Structure 1
Amino acid sequence: MTNVLIVDDEKHVREAIRYFVPWDQYGVTGIYEASNGREAMELVQQHRPAVVFTDMRMPLVDGASLLEWLHSHAPYTKTVVVSGYQDFDYVKPAIVYGGTDYLLKPVSGKQVAEAAERAFELWNKEKNEREQAFRQKIQLNVLRPLYWDKALSDLVTGRKAYAELASAMEEELGLPSGTAVCRMAIVSLQSAGGRLLRKLHDDVQLTAFAVANICNEILSRDRSGFAFRYWHDGADVALLLWSREPALGLLEEINRSMEAAYRMGLEIGLSAEQPFPDGIRLAFHQAGLALDERNLLGAPAGVQEFREAALPTENAAETEALQPLAERFGLALLTGDPERVGRALAEFCERLTGLPLLTGSVFSRWQEKIMDEIRRWLREWAGDGDARELKLPGYSDEAGNFSLVLWQRRLMELLTELCAEFRLSRTSDSRIVLEIRDYLDRNFERELTLQHIAERFYLSRENVSRKFKQVTGENLSDYLTRLRIDKAKSLIRHTDIRLSQVAERVGYEDEKYFSRVFKKATGLTPREYRKLGGTDGTE
């Protein structure tokens, strides 16, 4: 939309300008008139004209004052002066404030049309330049953070020399010239058992971007450092801190912002102070160690500072005693008896709880050993063809703190399910029932009737019901309902899709019926469950 304003206290002059210019040729959609400068100012603010034709001698506000005002309040607007005076006092404002033409009355149609053409050509040229500059600025704003992610990641690893980045870091990141010391921090995206990742649909890049943005909102306030997504192995988000302001306070403030935005804090490792720039690599290493060596049994999620005295953290005598317990757990698995497995796991966890120090790195190693025992057991009775992927259970509570009790409970839930499957594989009717159950697990979103299942597995409806109940101890319909409700709870908890879509994805065409079934199973309607953040009395 292109607008034009004609300002003159003589109506016939305004009409002549209207008549002489082929407005359609320039895409003009609005032509406005004013009889003095004051009216013109109001119309300019309302309609933002591309070109203003103005007289110089007018009542209330004259042309010179209008040109000066336009220069400040509508700097992109082009002006054409149409005046009956050639006195320099009238010509000067047009020159000073960027008028494109000064026409003397009486004007000819040719003069007005040519002046309009020049004004519109200049307007369009500058408009295109502004738009191109704007597009370049947007592209730069998108690419610049990626540049710093890569550049600072390479600086940490030594792939890029500080001398190559020094001037840009001072100009763009606010690094003070002559900075002599620094600290580094590493933020774990697996904090709170990976809850933040799940909340952002397991998108690592998006999660890292969100965390880095929150960090930089605080760090940019006093230009005390810069957070970036780390491009190599060893970290998710790293912070380079150079301010003399206490680093611990800055990181604690970042965690408070995370809690306000996402209702969870983060686990952050902080290095000791190191010389800048030569000590950056060591600082990064120390930040990683601080994160790995946090005592899970004593400290809540938060900032862990690197301390030389804390290394080495693993007490060999204490942790060596865990090895026979892990082996005993493996033997219990071979029986397929959930009670024996539960006792062995409880004994192992009790010994872990009794350790004076349990770091994240130590716990991860023992957790992996437990999972290795489970995988070996699965291979023995299910064969190498079993391609299932077993995920390590989370060990953080809702506040993001380490909870061995919660980890034990989640692992036992997995083992109970596997033991039941183990027993199924060793009974006479179990194989067909196991196939039926696997079929339900893969097709729960479809309309599944007892008749459909009976026909698929070449059994009578009565046989399907009886065998399923005998082998699993549960009615087939109850199993299918529980499976669907569990899947629905996961969708409600981890996605924002509409409840009608949730119902469809778990096999219910009627949303109202789905809501009744869901409430019977959980005590809450799907809407209430989502409002409470995905918790109910059954969990």
Structure 2
Amino acid sequence: MKILVVDDEPRHRRGMESLIRNLRPEDEVLVAKDGASALELVRSETPDAVLSDIRMPNLDGLSFLKILQDERRRTKVVMISAYNLFEYAQTAIRHGACDYILKPVEAEKVEFVLRRIEEQLAAESREHSETEALKQRLSLASSAYRNHLLLSWLNGSLTDLERKEIESSAWIQGGGIVAVSELRIDADSRAPFDSAAWLRRLEQAWAEFGEAHTILIEAPQEGVCQAATLIRTPRLTPERKAEIRRMADTLGAEWAGHGRLTHGIGPDCRSFWTEAPAAYRAAQTAGRYHFHPCWNGILFHDERLPADDPLVLDGEKLFAALQGKDAEEAVEMCRSAFDRLAAGGHADPKRIKEYAALTLIKVKSRIRGYVDRQVGSVIASAALNEVPACRTFTELMTVLEARLRDVHHAIRQPQSDKSEKVVDECLRWIQENAKEELTLEKVAERFYFNPSYFSTLIKSRTGRTFSDHVTEARMRRAKELIARNGMKIYEIAAECGYQDTKYFCRVFKKWNGMSPEAYKHAAYARKGREG
């Protein structure tokens, strides 16, 4: 991975560069002294990640980030600042920053952020490859290619050649409305889903209002299927809207066994050719507001009202409530603030998620020194991963409330009790997974600890090393299997996590004072005497 460090302070710049080289010696590290020189390097070197200070001469970090966003750069940006200001974090995340780190920088935090960026880039690369493969398959079938052209037209991404090709299509003549439908398939749905049948049924339902043509926008992926329908229909009147609502209710009931079906409706188009792309975007925007359950599955673009009020939530009062005896005070405080922010379903879901993520980041910053890093990591993961993935306001509030309860519990529970509980859980997990490849790093990551700290914690609590516990668990398992007299030594070795049978035998003898064969004979002899 190629990483760019941006800081106008030479000492900080050298320190961050050295830290990253020690953490990730295989990565390439570039440095820049200000935002202007960093921008040149991004354009010429295309780094995968940028760790940038905020306050710098020539071009400050937030302006630098805004330019990268405007240029649609894939580079992941992490903002670093000595100022714990909510406004800075809010602006950084709004302009596309993937994280916000406070100085002095902790090595564990940098390592965690860079590893997460690496995973995101790998996932995006796979998604890009899959998208390219899909495009090739679309061009093989004429009907699929026609839909591809129509979708490109709606998205405003037609080439000159494609534009000439689609101008003759009958579907761009006349006017009507554009509807975007989305089916979110329930994870526990057992009913087989046929996307082709769903498209046919959509087209049939919309045909009640005029000639309809349905295009698949997004095939079932992560439980979501989307389609756009162009309907040649007279102007939308209140009566016609009521009829469409009744149709949507009926259609939603039909597909309720699969999941939740919603529709966003764009404005009237006098001419599809000139107005349908804008109407399509308006329908998509309306569809996003089904994040709020209050719309009951259908929303016309003109039903949304402006809602730009900020979140009113006192961070210090929230933290005081988190320190109290009952977490419900903090939960209710947060719930009330976000209910007001939602403005009866009119607030932009993206904006609500931004405020939710920033609230958790602010809580994480405030609890530093009160709880261990495991809790902080959970809060950060919720802000960066769980919150953006929420599909509904209800789901978002569930995440927020759960994380607030985590913080309340962590603050109220003595540190020593927490450490002992984690160690007990770890040892139990090692025993249950003795067959797997168990490394300190792997187990530490599972329990949200730095490996070095985790190793010290186990040794201080038990008097034995992590490796000793792994070996003990495997030897205990090996003796149980040998005593059963139903497996060969090499099979027992594999069952206990050793691929090398000779090495297993050496470890067994060192641990038990005799070889596996000798132990087997001794076990048989004991059984004979007892029998």
TM-score band, normalised by the shorter chain? Answer: 0.3 to 0.5
Give the alignment's TM-score, normalised by structure 1. Answer: 0.41
- Largest Rg, 1 or 2: 1
Give the alignment's TM-score, normalised by structure 2. Answer: 0.42
